[in-house]
Structure 1
Amino acid sequence: MLKKIRIDPFVIAIIISIVLAYVFPQPGASGSPVPMDLISSLGISFIFFFYGLSLSSVAIKNGLKNWKLHVSVQASTFVLFPLLIVPFFPLVRNTSYELLWLAFLFMAALPSTVSSSVVMVAMAKGNLPGAIFNASISGIIGIVLTPLWMMPFIKQTDVAFDFSTIYLQLISEIVIPLALGLVLRRFLGAWAQKHKRTLNKFDKLIILLIIYKSFVQSFEDNIFSSVGLLEMLSMLGLVIILFVVVYSLTGWIGKLLKFNPADQITNQFCGTKKSLVHGTVFSEALFGQTSMVGIMLLPLMFYHALQILIISAIATKKGKKWIETKEEHVNLKDSNTVEDHHIK
């Protein structure tokens, strides 16, 4: 009997946001009295402020010991992913597909997720401290590396980008709030942990708001007129292929480095994830002054839904296998104890 496939409520909320952007664009349209840019900017700053408050210093200190795992995860996130996309640039350069390719590179250059990586590693009985460390540090590394991957290719587009303004925005909206959160963590860290669910809901609300605003702008400028159903299906197919390739490669790398089963799980789960939170935030900084934002988020939103669906299924299977193995071990131990008693 086939199991019911559970769709993440957040994925449904994203779809609703896009539909609202199309049928009810007034609040996010140009000239709207609603200060959407200001709300988004403040929301982004609060996301990273709360992120700084929530970082676990204990997990980071403990995590530093397992350096092979961390190098593998971060290399997969920031090197392997982009290197799988970059070689195709000559094929799309100066064609109508260049913008879609740029959207794939943007997705590939993003940090790993935080909450879902940790939750799913825990479900699969992987190395949880390693997952917390890598998920946390990935977002900080991405502030530097994601724009660096994008800069050479953005410069070759027809759109003018002021990188001094982009980095100033990254510093003011992300780096400073993050640093402030880290400084105040000793005073407000317990409060952030206590209200973690509420803060996660706030993060998702801001993400949905940015997605709504981005798609309103893209619909307004008719940016999707060149993206047909065939391109959408092709994009989905490429996202699936990319996930399978990276998941397989991270598995092979884990075996090559002789990771134990727990580290192997963390390496594959954290090394294949991409963060929608950072994607929406970075898209605002990199493409906020253009109408490209909506289309730049398309592969990422496909990937976000796919990674949750596939990894959650794998995590559930591995978790059940771990429990069954443990039960077999306990039963075997009890059986041996009984036999020893009879012998005596």
Structure 2
Amino acid sequence: MKRFLEAVIDPFLLALLATVGLAALFPAQGQVAGIVDIVADIAIALLFFFHGAKLSREAILAGMGHWRLHLSVLASTFVLFPLLGLAAGLLPASILPTVIATGILYLCLLPSTVQSSIAFVSIAGGNVPAAICSASASNLLGIFITPLLVGLLMKAGGQAGISLAALEAIILQLLVPFIAGHLARPLIGRFVQKYRNSISYTDRGSILLVVYSAFSAAVVEGLWHKVAASDLIAIAVASIVLLALVMGITALAGRWFGFNRADRIVLLFCGSKKSLVSGVPMASVLFPVAQVGLIILPLMLFHQIQLIICTWLAARWRQEMNGTEP
């Protein structure tokens, strides 16, 4: 119950809501918007630098042997989710408005989370080394696969495919800092490990900056005239249905593939997550700034829903494993 309440009353979610409210009341415009965009770009580069520095080669090598499990997680993340996202786009606009379906598809193309996936696997009594490997591989490959899928399945910047400017931004803002951070790990690894809690504030601060920049531009473009309360309800319902489908399919697939309990837990939790930390910065690189607010709105709601449901489920499985009543 304590973990469930902590998931429901997530301080970071409150910070996100406050940031959206600030952008709604005081959107950055003119020169201020330009400065915010520059600071956000620097923050994104710093975020991916620390992502690279935190990636442990030893942990990945320790879990690489279970290739069937890792391929199953990647298939759920980059095949099953995109197919469901495309299916959602086929629904009538009266059920799922086009602008919401676009955001749902984008979140379906994102990599899995790292920290929360590993945490849930650990709580539920799953295979933690394999979870570290699967989640880290998903995040690393997502830097390449997500932009590719966006280019193939979405219209980024108003045109099919990824523009040269977007590709350059991906390389300079995401890939180069990530590689630089990973190469610097032998030098700064101990520092990163020692101050990981403080560095996590850098991650969250970067996301808040991008969210403020994106929603400021969206508000200036008339965001709240395009999104009604009924749209938010539709996003919440679509997120719950999407998560339930993926968790159900991965649970069945884990049994069908003959995985043991610990590995089935890895497939279910790592294969059903979508990363807010990766998704928000990527959206700011892949899409025009005025569109980013609408694009990431479903991701923000899905992120919170997945935390609530997975916290409850992991705690329940832990209690079952310990032979106690939920």
- Same fold, TM exceeding 0.5? yes
* Corresponding position of 2:181: 181
Letter in 2 for 1:139: N
Contact 1:223 1:292 in 2 (8 A): no
Residue aligning to 1:310: 309
Q: CA deviation at 1:5?
A: 3.2
1:165 aligns with 2:165: yes
Quote the residue 1:30 is aligned against.
30
Q: Partner residue of 2:80?
A: 80
Amino acid at match of 1:141: L
**What does residue 245 of structure 1 align with?**
245
* 2:210 is equivalent to residue 219 of structure 1: no
Unaligned runs of 5+ residues in structure 1 are: 326-344
Name the residue aligned to 2:41: 41
CA contact (8 A) 1:77 1:272 kept: yes
Partner SS, residue 292 of structure 1: helix
AA at the equivalent of 1:267: L
Is the 1:8–1:308 contact (alpha carbons within 8 Å) kept by the matching residues of 2?
A: no
Is the 2:156–2:286 Cα contact (8 Å) retained in structure 1?
A: no
Whose radius of gyration is greater, 1 or 2? 1
- 1:127 deviates by 0.8
Opposite residue 22 of structure 1, the aligned amino acid is A
Unaligned 5+ segments in structure 2 are none
Change (3 A) 1:145 1:205: same
SS of 2:110 mapped into structure 1: coil
Question: CA contact under 8 A between 1:72 and 1:267: conserved in structure 2?
Answer: yes
2:10 is the alignment partner of 1:11: no
Contact 1:224 1:295 in 2 (8 A): no
1:156 Cα deviation after fit:
8.4
The answer to whether the 8 Å contact 1:110/1:278 transfers is yes
Task: Specify whether residues 152 and 98 from structure 1 end up closer, same or farther in structure 2 by C-alpha distance, changes over 3 A only.
Answer: farther
SS in 2 for 1:31: helix
- 1:331 is aligned to none
313-322 or 214-223: which moved more?
A: 313-322
Q: CA deviation at 1:141?
A: 0.9
**Percent of matched pairs sharing the same residue:** 34
Deviation at 1:321?
2.2
Q: Give the drift of 1:160.
A: 8.6
Q: What letter matches 1:299 in structure 2?
A: P
Aligned length: 321
Report the TM-score, using the length of structure 1 for normalisation: 0.87
Give how far 1:34 is off.
6.8
Alpha-carbon shift at residue 171 of structure 1 (Å): 0.6
1:48–1:177 Cα contact (<8 Å) kept: yes
Q: Normalised by the size of structure 2, how large is the TM-score?
A: 0.92
**For 1:151-176, what per-residue CA distance to the aligned partner results, in whole angstroms no more than 9, with x for missing partners?**
23444885698611111111111111
Distance change >3 Å, CA 3–CA 75, structure 1 → 2: closer
Name which of structure 1's ranges 224-233 and 254-263 shifts more when overlaid on structure 2: 224-233
Corresponding residue for residue 101 of structure 1: 101
Cα deviation for residue 23 of structure 1 reads 1.5
Checking the alignment, whether the CA contact within 8 Å between 2:73 and 2:270 is kept in structure 1 is yes
Counterpart secondary structure, 2:31: coil
- Who is 1:332 aligned against? none
Q: 1:144 maps to which residue?
A: 144
Q: Aligned equivalents of 1:33 and 1:321: distance in 2?
A: 51
Per the alignment, residue 341 of structure 1 pairs with none
Q: Give me the whole-angstrom Cα distance separating, in 2, the residues matched to 1:140 and 1:213.
A: 25
Deviation of the 1:188 alpha carbon: 1.1
CA distance in 2, matches of 1:257, 1:112: 21
Work out the CA distance in 2 between the residues paired with 1:157 and 1:202.
28
> For 1:7-26, what per-residue CA distance to the aligned partner results, in whole angstroms no more than 9, with x for missing partners?
2111111111111111222x
Instruction: Read off the aligned partner of 1:189 and give its amino acid letter.
Output: G
Q: Does 1:53 align with 2:75?
A: no
Residue 262 of structure 2: aligned partner: 262
CA distance in structure 1 between the aligned counterparts of 2:219 and 2:61, rounded to whole angstroms:
46
Q: 1:185 to 1:307 in 2, by over 3 A?
A: same
How far did 1:320 drift? 2.1
Q: Can you list the C-alpha shifts for 1:186-242, whole angstroms capped at 9, x where unaligned?
A: 111111111111111110111011111111110111033122111211111111000
Name the amino acid aligned to 2:279. G
Deviation at 1:118, TM superposition (A): 1.2
- For 1:300, the equivalent position in structure 2 comes to 299
Asked if structure 2 preserves the Cα contact closer than 8 Å seen for 1:121 and 1:269, the reply is yes
Q: 1:189 to 1:3 in 2, by over 3 A?
A: closer
Deviations 1:131-155 (A, max 9, x none): 1111111111111211222223444
